[in-house]
Amino acid sequence: MLISVALGQVLSLLICGIGLTSKYLSEDFHANTPVFQSFLNYILLFLVYTTTLAVRQGEENLLAILRRRWWKYMILGLIDLEANYLVVKAYQYTTLTSIQLLDCFVIPVVILLSWFFLLIRYKAVHFLGIFVCILGMGCMAGADVLVGRHQGAGENKLVGDLLVLGGATLYGISNVWEEYIIRTLSRVEFLGMIGLFGAFFSGIQLAIMEHKELLKVPWDWQIGLLYVGFSACMFGLYSFMPVVIKKTSATSVNLSLLTADLYSLFCGLFLFHYKFSGLYLLSFFTILIGLVLYSSTSTYIAQDPRVYKQFRNPSGPVVDLPTTAQVEPSVTYTSLGQETEEEPHVRVA
């Protein structure tokens, strides 16, 4: 349980680094280039993971994967790119508090998609933990209002709120799809395909929508260092998140990421001279209590794991179950990790 909570906080710290570097770029150097920043991350993923797939042999080779599933990864790459873009774009239209609260919409999206597509079932303690985490986020948003923290323009609030809800929905779809891939296929395949199609689509979007902004950037060593820092944090987030999702779940990861805003705030107390409120500490510990409650017991799936593993072969293998074995009605979700020698033999019809 503690390991699950700790792994999630590592992801939150990486997001904190992403937020701080983005803030310096946009406010101190007037470099508003969200698509270019995403493009740099996708290029790194391409250089590391896509090239790894290219040199593999057999069914795990890049060309073999593209022949079987190219259109699925193309859709996933586009969803991942636009999820990032919509949330960043929302800051131009709505307030910080609205973004913080509406971004929590990703949690019910992940829960519903996990329930229907990954067949995950939750217990009462999980819903209690989720409620406590969201309560902590509400406490943080209230603290922002009380201390008068910068709320943004909020000139067209409805448009901004819709952008946040759209981005949160796409984030939820991307996270659940990511969980499915890393449990049934592999982490390297997911990151390699995201790097390939993410770089392709972000490159096109950069050329169409952001090339003028990129030319306005006053390039020097400080800006270059900020771009390097942003790319390193973003690459670390993308590379480490599949590891955490496989050990926990997409729902658990998204709950853990709620503390990222608080880490950014604590850094801002020293870097940007934000005003402090005791409600921030209350919010932080409330979210941690919710995470502990959620992680205190395992979720489970609605069917036997041997049936779940049939998704690895889209041609539909037939599994011969031993007649003497007792099939359990449900199993812990974490039992879907490595296959063991005790599994039944697979007979392809």
Q: Would you state the structure tokens that stand for residue 247, as one six-digit string?
A: 């050990």
Question: Where is average pLDDT lowest: 10-14, 66-70, 148-152, 217-221?
Answer: 148-152
Mean pLDDT calculated for residue range 125-138: 92
Instruction: Using pLDDT thresholds of 50, 70 and 90, give the confidence band for residue 43.
Output: very high
User: At residue 326, does pLDDT exceed 50?
Assistant: no
3 state DSSP class of 331: strand
Give the pLDDT band of residue 135 (cuts 50, 70, 90): very high
More confident site: 290 or 332: 290
Decide if pLDDT at 152 tops 60: no
> Using 50, 70 and 90 to split pLDDT, how confident is the model at 11?
very high
Phi (first) and psi of residue 300, to 5 degrees: -145, 165
**9 pLDDT exceeds 60?**
yes
Q: What is the pLDDT of residue 155?
A: 62
Which pTM was predicted? 0.81
**Identity (one letter) of the amino acid at 285?**
F
Cα–Cα distance measured from residue 349 to residue 336, given in angstroms and rounded to the nearest whole number? 24
The predicted structure's pLDDT at residue 320: 42
Greatest Cα-to-Cα distance within the chain, rounded to the nearest angstrom: 72
Question: What was the pLDDT predicted at 226?
Answer: 94
